[in-house]
Amino acid sequence: MCGIFGFYGFENKKLLEKMCKSITHRGPDSIGYFVDNKISLGNTRLAVIDLKTGKQPIFNEDHSVCTVFNGEIYNFKVLRRKLEERGHKFSTNSDTEVIIHTYEEFGENCLDHFDGMFAFALWDSKKRILLLARDRIGIKPLYYTIIDNCLLFASEIKSLLLFEELKREINYNALNLYLSFRYVPGDKTLFKGIYKLPQGHYLTFNKNGVKIKKFWALKYETSIHNEQFYSKNILQLLSSSVEERLMSDVPLGVFISGGLDSGGILSLMSKTTDLKTFSIGFEGKDKANELTKARNLAEIYSTDHYETLVGTDSFKLLSKIIWHLDNLIGDPVIIANYVLSQLAKKYVKVILCGEGADELFAGYVHHRNSLYGYYFNKYTPQTLQKLAINITKVVPAYLLNIFFNYPAKLSKEGKDRVINILSTLNKYEKNYLYQISLFTDENKNELFFDTFATENQYNSEMFINNSFKNISSAYFIDKISLHEFHTWLPDYILSKLDYLTMAHSVEGRVPYLDHRLVEFTMKIPVKYKMRGLQEKYILRRALKHALPKRVVNQKKQAFIMPINSHFKKEMNELSKNIFFDQTAKRRKLYSTKYINKLLNSTGFIHSKQLFALLSLEIWFRTYIDQENPQMIRKVF
């Protein structure tokens, strides 16, 4: 696991060194550079495999091919044996060197041979071509920009921003998407001219320009088998994936919540000696929200278990967290994720976690709501649908919470959202958008000044419509799953995991996202993913003998930061200091009337909106205004 960076088309040793310094947290163990005739590659290494000889960059036998690499190739030993049989000579025991020789053998098709998570840059001096590649799922990040026929790339955006010719300008279309989803989906970022290399794609760059190609695509192809067939194969594929991800020359551990997803990983690792587990909770009345379940699970598998709490003091970490999250994510959970990774850093270098299970097995509330909304619209007369809407207007919030999973203190904004969801059951894309959006278009019109409306030409509904249009499946729930696999998963879930673990020089691994398991889940009919009101049904069946019965059958508990109770005071104080000072006023972006509305509300949705805006403003000051992070922290 590492940070990679570099450029093609010019030479600038000082820039290369600055790019390295900006992301040394990703790999504090060693630094390496390659510079030759307008090509510069760099790496800052977190040593996990081959601690002695795996320093990068790594070359082939005649030094005509060079690579810097971030990630893990789990099948590298198998590949190495095959390559040695074909005459290739190896000088290290690392998985990185396998990339070089597989490229020599298969060219750009080398990507089809790698099992793992990866982002790498490879320079072929004979062909004078730079190859950038990102793994099938998008577990490892890779950003790039092209200016005056020169290409720059890096594991984090902050490295690219050190290039003085790159203007720090906001992409208003991306900002619109951020406000809807709390992150920017797709290949764009909040910066004009800076892009993500999409999952399962590679980029080639030479004197003729840039080409981007897809080397792997996920499709939904329903198969017809019984429950036993699917559960048996899931367990086999997941077991194999976990076993591969135990590959490490350094200590490893597991993030656990006490639930099905992380519990399944832990159960399949139970034969590992000196296993360490980590969990997090919140101070106050929510102190035992997941900690008791996690503690019980750790006792069953006899792990060395460590816990930490998120207190109100943790809110002071926000500016530091936003500095790490140059690819901004405006969700309060980033505080808990950062603190948990901070704890893990004390004991391990590698962490396994349960990310990806909800996406593969339809585990979110909006998956269930969308499916039953579809059936409700299809089989319920219009008169009864209108009656349901009218009942919703007067029903107590706690009853709505049973189905829609909103917090009990539902604000008017939240209740209006539920009514909109029920009113759009026959307009599936719009219904989905109402379920997942943080800010609706109506909210944005109320929040922003004319600058936003003038600059923005692309709204969230257009993005959803275009995404769903390109997915060929007759079932709407499958369209949601594939859409989220290409957006929510790499751009939110995995980006958050990578940035916040690597902030503490910890590598995160995700067994549920082995590409063979992912491909298999796309063949499972919806009726096996959800049964009645039980989500992830087929995963529960697969793990029924691996986990205690209470864990297999327990209802999913979403990990939600209690932002409107625990941090309301701290968030309001910081918001008043930031949104009403001269810097924010000069930006001429936010309506103070809407900000005041959020400050005076106790509703959960309004609290999340305020946090997203607060994160955005700190991001603005850090990366657009270029304020010193220490100065920003003084506001707290």
Catalytic residues: 2
Beta carbons of 547 and 260 less than 8 angstroms apart = yes
Residues 505 and 26: beta-carbon distance below 8 Å: yes
252 — phi, psi (to 5°)? Answer: -135, 160
Phi (first) and psi of residue 229, to 5 degrees: -60, -45
Q: E strands of 197-287, at which residues? A: 201-206, 209-214, 252-255, 276-282
Say if residues 91 and 130 touch (Cβ distance below 8 Å): no
Count each helix (H run) and each strand (E run) in the chain, helices first: 31, 17
Contact between 204 and 131 under an 8 Å Cβ cutoff? The reply is yes
Q: In the structure encoding, which two tokens stand for residue 522, read together?
A: 């796309």
Could you tell me what percentage of the chain is helix, strand and coil, using 3-state DSSP and rounding each to the nearest 5? 50, 15, 35
Parallel, antiparallel, or unpaired for β 129-134 and 116-124?
A: antiparallel
Lay out the sheet containing 143-147: strands in order across: 30-36, 39-45, 2-8, 150-154, 143-147, 195-196
Cross-strand pairs, 332: none
Best CA proximity match to 463, nearest among 478, 447, 483: 483
| Residue 634, Cβ density class (10 Å: 0-12 exposed, 13-18 middle, ≥19 buried) | exposed
Task: Name the CA dihedral angle for 217, 218, 222, 226, rounded to a multiple of 10 degrees.
Answer: 120
In whole angstroms, give the CA distance from residue 115 to residue 152: 26
d(CA 533, CA 556) in angstroms, rounded, equals 11
